[in-house]
Every structure is written in C-alpha cells, then in structure tokens.
Amino acid sequence: MAKPNDKQLQMILEDMVIARTQASRLWNLQRQGQVGTIAPIDGHEAAVVGAVHALETESDWVLPQYREPLGLRRYGPEVLDTFMLYNLGHPAGGHIPDPVKVAPSQISLGASIPHAVGLAWGMSLKDEPGVVLVFFGDGASSEGDFYEAGNLAGVLKAPVILFCVNNQWAISTPTHLQTAADSFASKAEAFGIPGVTVDGNDPIAVYEAVFNARKRATSGKGPTLIEANVYRLGAHTTADDPTRYVPSDELSAAQKKDPVHTFIKDLTARGLWSDTKQDEIETAALERIDEAFEKAKNTPLSANSLMDHCFVSDTPRQLRQRSFLMDSTGKSNEH
Ligand SMILES: Cc1ncc(C[n+]2csc(CCOP(=O)(O)OP(=O)(O)O)c2C)c(N)n1
Ligand SMILES: [Mg+2]
C-alpha cells in the first residue's frame, strides 16, 4: 500500500521516538567520556524512519551515512549492537551480522553511493529481488562519487534509491554555498532519472516517496533520486558548536516543525498515541541503549581482530601483519 496503515504509523512514530531518546542518551554518554564522537539524528527522524518503513527488510539493503543508524531499528537489534561496537572502535563494528541487510556507518562522504549502485546492479544481474537505498547528505552530494555513481545507475537502470537528506548544513557550510542548483533533486536530470523533493519532516510523505521509488526500481525502471528536506536540530557532532554559525531565528523556526513533536501531535489527534505509550517507549529505548552499550564495552578486543571484515579472507600481507601483531602483543594467534 502506498499509504501506511494505522499500525505502520504507530510503528513509525515508535521508531522515531526511540531514535530521539537513544540519541540524547548517547550524547550524555559522550559528555561523560564513555563513548566516542556521536552525530545526532535530531531533526532527521521522520526522513530516516519513514524511508526505512517503506522497504522490505528481507530483500532490500540500506547503506547509511553516519547519522542514520539509530533510525534503522526496523532492521533488527544487530544494527544498534554493531553501531555501539563501531562507536567504541571495535573491529566487529565494521560488519553487521548476516542476514541483516544494513551496511555499517560510512564516514567518508559519498563513498557508499558507488557501493550502493554496484550492489543494486549485482542484485539485478543475479535476478535477486529487492532494492538498495543509500543515505547521504547535502554535503556528500558534492563528491565526485555521487555524480559518477548517479550517472552509472541511470545507464544501468540499477534498482537503487539515492536518498539525499538535505539538513541545510554540511558542518558549518550552508546549502547555498554547497550548490548553485535549485535543489539537490534537480541533479537527477543529468542522470536521466526522476528527482523527487519531499518534506523530510513528514514521515508519511517520505514513506510514499520511497514506496513509489521502490516500485519503480523493482519493476525494472531504474533509480530515483529523493531529496528529503529537513533541518539539523542538533550539533553536527559532539565535537561541534553550532551556536557559532547557525542563525538562532532559523533554528527556532525549524524547532517549531520538529518532526517528532509534530507526529506525536498528529497521531495523538488520531487516537493512535498517548502519553502512557510515549513513557513506555522511552523507558524501553533507554534500557535498550544501555544494554547495547554494556555489551559493546564488555566485548573483548584482541589485536588479532583488527583486520577482520576487510576482505572475505586475509590477503598474504594481512596474514603477515596478523602474525606480527600477535608476536608484539604476546597473545596466541586465535585465527
Ligand atoms: C570525503 C570526505 N570529505 C570530508 C569529510 C569531513 N566531513 C565529515 S562530515 C562533513 C559534512 C557532511 O555533510 P552532509 O553530507 O550534509 O551530512 P550531515 O552531516 O549534514 O548529515 C564533512 C565535510 C569526510 N568525512 N569525508
Ligand atoms: Mg547536511
């Protein structure tokens, strides 16, 4: 169905509330020196969760940038557990266990876009069902990878959804210094594919845009570029001070359109949400993030795992490096 039903609407809001709650817990843990740098999802929840709810988790891949992982709960608990390992610098954070079709966070801007197109092309060559959705920011769209991959995706009719989260900023660079184009979606024209602009604060509109793009991709018609317009409500990361460059009137205007608060009001008015439900979801979200953090903290780290997940099997050089590492740490070689 192109429109989410009541149950789906509730699940979308649940996931949005969970993402917001867990992001604030991670922010505090970072401030206590317990976790590494965090890029908050605040303001992106409707775009990320709305998009992911229009996918089929068994067949469709999601390739996140770095701000999305807390919004991908629908793909299973492994996403959060692996994200915590990744945040703590554990090599196991570089691979989400099979069969979960989510790639780990990507810090290198734009680098996942060619991966997404290659993956989608491979799936179509193998006649596998499903699509690939890749998230990237307005800033990432300035990378050559975006243009190269977008062009190839158009030529190959790859079943891929290029999902640009335009949060109006790339750290301190505003969008008018990022591009002279009218919109990020308009760049689709050069790829010969549809470019769609959607209100990223409205999870239903995002759901519909992704649903339609998915339908197009699975019927062999190829990719769609979606630009979801949102506003980054928090800092770029825990290492940033946005008060030095975000105009306060712009931020307060954006806060009035806060996607989580707006959707809570909307679903409450429809009789699909309540304060009690909100409390329950928030409490469970906090317990869950603390559990994931404790699990990650207590996962043993061995020098031998440093090169895991680079390749399916070690190259000769990696084998030499592993034995060198094991000698220098004095631990037995576990592989
Ligand atoms: C290839 C590359 N160049 C530069 C950076 C440094 N960098 C990290 S985040 C960022 C801004 C990205 O902005 P955007 O893609 O809009 O994503 P947002 O953080 O707004 O979600 C930059 C320039 C990087 N990570 N990778
Ligand atoms: Mg941005």
Q: In which residue ranges of the chain is pLDDT below 50?
A: 333-335
What pLDDT shows up at residue 335?
Answer: 43
Protein residue with least CA distance to atom 21, ligand 1: 137
Which amino acid is present at 262? T
* Ligand 1 pocket check for 138: Cβ under 6 Å: yes
Ligand 2 centroid, distance to 167 Cα (angstroms) = 5
Q: Which ligand 1 atom minimizes the distance to the CA of 67?
A: 21
What pLDDT shows up at residue 48?
Answer: 99
What pLDDT shows up at residue 1?
Answer: 63
What pLDDT shows up at residue 303?
Answer: 75
Protein residue with least CA distance to atom 17, ligand 1: 137
Ligand 2 centroid, distance to 299 Cα (angstroms) = 33
Side-chain-side CA neighbours of 227 within 13 Å: the count stands at 22
Whole-angstrom distance, CA of residue 322 vs CA of residue 329: 11
CATH class of 6-301: alpha beta
> Across all residues in the chain, what is the average pLDDT?
95
Helices 259-269/45-52 angle, 10° precision? 60
What pLDDT shows up at residue 305?
Answer: 80
Active site residues: 232, 236, 245
Domain boundaries, the chain: 6-301, 302-335
Whole-angstrom distance, CA of residue 22 vs CA of residue 285: 6
What pLDDT shows up at residue 18?
Answer: 98
* Ligand 1 pocket check for 166: Cβ under 6 Å: no
Distances (CA, A) of 276 to 71, 283, 289: 22, 11, 20
Protein residue with least CA distance to atom 25, ligand 1: 108
What pLDDT shows up at residue 46?
Answer: 99
pLDDT tens track for 196-243:
999 999 999 999 999 999 999 999 999 999 999 999 999 999 999 999
* Ligand 1 pocket check for 329: Cβ under 6 Å: no
* Ligand 1 pocket check for 139: Cβ under 6 Å: yes
Q: Which ligand 1 atom minimizes the distance to the CA of 111?
A: 1
Show the tokens assigned to 138.
């307005």
pLDDT tens track for 177-192:
999 999 999 999 999 9
Ligand in closest contact with the CA of 137: 1
Ligand 2 centroid, distance to 324 Cα (angstroms) = 41
